[in-house]
Chains A and B, each alone.
Chain A
C-alpha cells in the first residue's frame, strides 16, 4: 500500500515562505486547498515522504524557479472552451467592437494560448483581426513560449472542431492549421495580432486601456482577497464600457468591486464596466 502523504496548515505556510524567500515565487495569494493539493502532488512526484524531506529538497535548490511554478500552478486550457461564451461574443459583442478603430484585448493568464487563438479565429471571420491587438500574459514564461510556437496535439482537434462549430465558426477549424507528426501548427496569420509578455496578476500593474479582458479559470486558484485585488486591477485597465469575461463557474458577485460592474450575461459570466 502506498504511503498516505499529509501536510498541515502550518507546513503549508512554511512552504509559502520558502518558495518566496528561496525561489522568489509568491504563492501567498493562492487558494489554500488547491495549493495544499498541488504541494502534495509535487511531494509525491519528488518522492518526499515527509514535509521535512520536502523542505530539505527545496532548501537545497533542487528545482529551478520555473519548475516550481510549473508544478504548482495549473495550466489546463483548451480552444473554444464553453462554446456558448464565444457564440455570445460573436453575436452580441463583436458588433459593438466593430465601431472601434482599434481593439485592445487582454488575455490574463493565457497559459499555452489556446484561448487567444480561438478568439483570433472568430475575430478574423468577423473582419476584426487586423485592427485587434491581443495581449497574452501569464506568470509562467514556459507556457508563453509554447503559446508563441502555436503547436498543439492533433488528438485534441476533434473536440475543438466540434466546439468551434458550436461557437458559431463559419468555416472548418482545419482551415486554420497544418497537421503533421501527430501535431498541428496554427496558421501564422492568427498570431500576428498577439503580444506575449510575462505578467503576474499577484503583483503586476495595469499596462494599457483594454476593451475586453478575458481571464477564465484563474480566479479559482486565488484567495478572495487576491481576487478582489485582481478585479481592481482589471477595472483600472478596462476602458469605459469595456468587457470582462470570467470562467463559466466563477463569479464576480462576491467581490467588493461588483457594484462597478454591470452584468451582461450572468450565466456566461460576461460583465461590463459601468463607465
Chain B
C-alpha cells in the first residue's frame, strides 16, 4: 500500500517541473541536455518525444545507464517528485491532475501526434502555472505552438532552441511565431544552464 499521508505532504510542497518537448532530431538534444544534470536535482523533468510506439521502452533503459538521477516511464497515476526524470510512453497523451499526479489518455492524436506537446503544455500549465518551465526543441511539425500560447498566458517559462541550430526547425520556429514573447531563445549547449536558472 502507498502511504497516503506521505503523498499528501508531498502535494503541498511546491514543485517546479521542466517539460522537454521535441520530435525529429530531438534525441541528441535531449541527451546533451540531460547529461548536464548533477545529483540532487531540484526539479522534476518530464520528457515528451514523438516516437514510434512499442511496449519495450529502450529510451528509459538507455537513459538510466547514462544519467545519475532516476529515469522512470510515466505510468497512469504516478506522483511527480523532484529529482526524477519521467519519460512519456509513445502512443499516449500525458496530462497532469490537480494533485500533481500524471494521467495518460488515449484520445485522438493532436497535430498527428500522441503524445502531443500541445496537450501536455496546456494541461501542465493549467495545473502548474508559473512553476512550469517548458523547453521546445527540434521537430518537423507545429505541435507545441498552441500549447506554448497557454504557457505564456499562464506565466510559465518558455525556452526555445535556436531554430537554425535545430535538425528540424519547424517546431521551434512555429512556437516563436505563435507566441509574442518567449523567455529565452538559446543554442543547444546553453539549454540546460538557461533552464537551471529557474531551478
Contacts and interface: CB of A to CB of B under 8 A. Distances in A.
Interface of A: 4, 9, 31-34, 36-38, 41, 74, 76, 82-85, 217, 219-221, 224, 247-251, 253-254, 258-259, 268
A4 B149 contact: yes
B76 A258 contact: no
A74 B107 contact: yes
B150 A33 contact: no
Contacts of B89: 249
Interface stretch (B8-16, B24-32, B94-102, B130-138): B94-102
User: Quick one: which of B55, B74, B76, B98 has the most chain A CB within 10 A?
Assistant: B76
Interface size class on chain B is 20 to 34
Contact of B77 (A4, A217, A224): A224
A78 B76 CA distance: 19
Contacts, number: 70
Contacts of B153: 4
B107 A82 contact: no
Contacts of A33: 95-98, 103, 123, 126-127
A111 to B, nearest CB: 10
Contacts of B123: 33, 37
Contact of A76 (B73, B95, B108): B108
Interface in B129-183: 149-150, 153
B106 A31 contact: no
A47 B95 CA distance: 24
A74 to B, nearest CB: 5
16 contacts: A31-B97, A31-B103, A34-B103, A34-B107, A37-B95, A37-B107, A38-B107, A74-B105, A84-B55, A84-B56, A219-B76, A221-B105, A247-B76, A248-B55, A251-B75, A254-B77
User: Quick one: which of A36, A84, A253, A254 has the most chain B CB within 10 A?
Assistant: A254
A32 B73 CA distance: 22
B76 A32 contact: no
Nearest to B1: A258
Interface string B171-199: 00000000000000000000000000000
Contacts of A248: 55
